[in-house]
Amino acid sequence: EKKGKAKDNFYGKLILEFDNKVHSSMKQETTTLKKLVEKLGNTEDKVECKKLKKKLEEAKFSNTFLRMQNERVERDLYWTRVRAHEFYQEMIHRGFVFEERPNEA
């Protein structure tokens, strides 16, 4: 809502600026209108560019965060396999399991 008000104020100021300049000759009016349209276009492009840059930064952060999570999951999975293998070896040593089965995966 604040952004909307700020945008309205900005465009309101541009319109007032345009209104003040319109009171000149017809040729100047046309030139002023072209400049105003160009100024509005540039402003909208800048706003859109800022929005896209913000989205890009958010995507980079999200990607980094997901990569860190993935690395943590892979590390945890590795250590789970190590512990499972150690447990299996201990069961063989204690005689609960008589032989290792080949990995069928």
Confidence of residue 104 (pLDDT cuts 50, 70, 90): low
SS (H, E, C) 69-85: HHHHHHHHHHHHHHHHH
Kindly list the domain boundaries of the chain, sorted by start residue. Answer: 2-94
pLDDT computed for residue 38 by the predictor: 76
Predicted structure pTM score: 0.43
What does the alpha-carbon distance between residue 61 and residue 55 come to, in Å, rounded to a whole number?
10
Q: Express each pLDDT in 51-95 by its tens digit.
A: 888 888 888 888 888 889 989 999 999 999 999 999 988 888 888
What does the alpha-carbon distance between residue 37 and residue 29 come to, in Å, rounded to a whole number?
12
Residues 36 and 14: beta-carbon distance below 8 Å: yes
Closest CA to 21 of 36, 5, 1: 36
